[in-house]
Structure 1
Amino acid sequence: MSRADEVEDQLWLVRHGQTEWSANGRHTSTTDLPLTEVGEAAARTLVGPLSDVDFVQVLTSPRRRAVHTAELAGFAHAELDEDLAEWAYGDYEGLTTPEIRETVPGWSVWTHGSPGGETAQQVTERLDRVVARARAVDGKTLVFAHGHSLRALAARWMGLDVSEGRLFTLDTSTISILGVDRGTQVVRHWNVAPSS
């Protein structure tokens, strides 16, 4: 594989802008919250670093916080992809980790799952489809999605179990880039906040 091929084979990840619940540490999957004013302002700072990149496909989670981030970043044409939705938290929707740990000590979505929510296997299956879509095109793919789903997507890009997504912290309105180095799928840049 040539160096040029490796540079073209990239998956760019953008976590949506801040919402009221992301600011408060509340687990948000199916609840369709809008961006806060802070979230909108931060999403606009994504325009600069993304505008000079030639993406062959742009995908977004169907949740409005991701769609609106894509719009504010200059990608109103992003294609909706249900596979990019956030890990469904089921009964833990809207709760914080400390609240959940009051009844389930040591709880983590990465290790315990959520009653009524998605299993790690279900998340793996849909994120593997995103990886396949990115690998199937000749060039760069840009996706707009969520904290846990993007962390799990990075793990799957590298062939790791989704639980390894726990190793990647991810802030709102940040850019991360996954690529290939000498045939190995790798993290090139992670959790980069654009300059405002």
Structure 2
Amino acid sequence: MWKGRSGEGLAFCGAACVCCCIVGIILALIGLGIAKIVIGAIHLHDCPLQDLVPIWLIVSGVAPIFFGGSARKQGDDGDESQSPARSVCGVIGLVFNLAWLICGSLWVYPTFGTVNNDDFVPCIGNVTTGCSQDCHKPTLTFAFAMVTIDWIFFVFWCITTLCSFRAICSRSRGGAQISA
């Protein structure tokens, strides 16, 4: 009599857990985006060694907000069709974010390596010969972490997308075999 009830409870708990995780990830990403904008704006002129690092932080925080409207959204009638302009905007956003992530990697990683090198001598105080321009270390460390996290999320997104396409293809092949 109660055989199906425990399975339904577990399914509900699993669905609630997944929803909470998704909401948590979205809130964390929004928070990281805001932090990128704020830290990049505050330290805009504090990295003469590579002055594009704070700019990268600002743009990488703003871009997802700007292109976020191109996400797929179901209509009221359950139709998932998108306008071509929205799809093109989504592709442009994806390409821009990937290109900007590559640029950030080219600016942040070498600068981080230079500043953390043992023989790096910053031009501070009376030291003016044999030294290099410095970069605000907390900003550079934050940018290094953000580039790394962005790459991790990009790879995760690619894997998720490929798995989704694989599942869709296997369903469509299975449906074609059954109807034939």
The structure whose residues are more often helix, as a share, is 2
Q: TM-score, normalised by structure 2?
A: 0.31
Q: Select the structure of larger CA radius of gyration.
A: 2
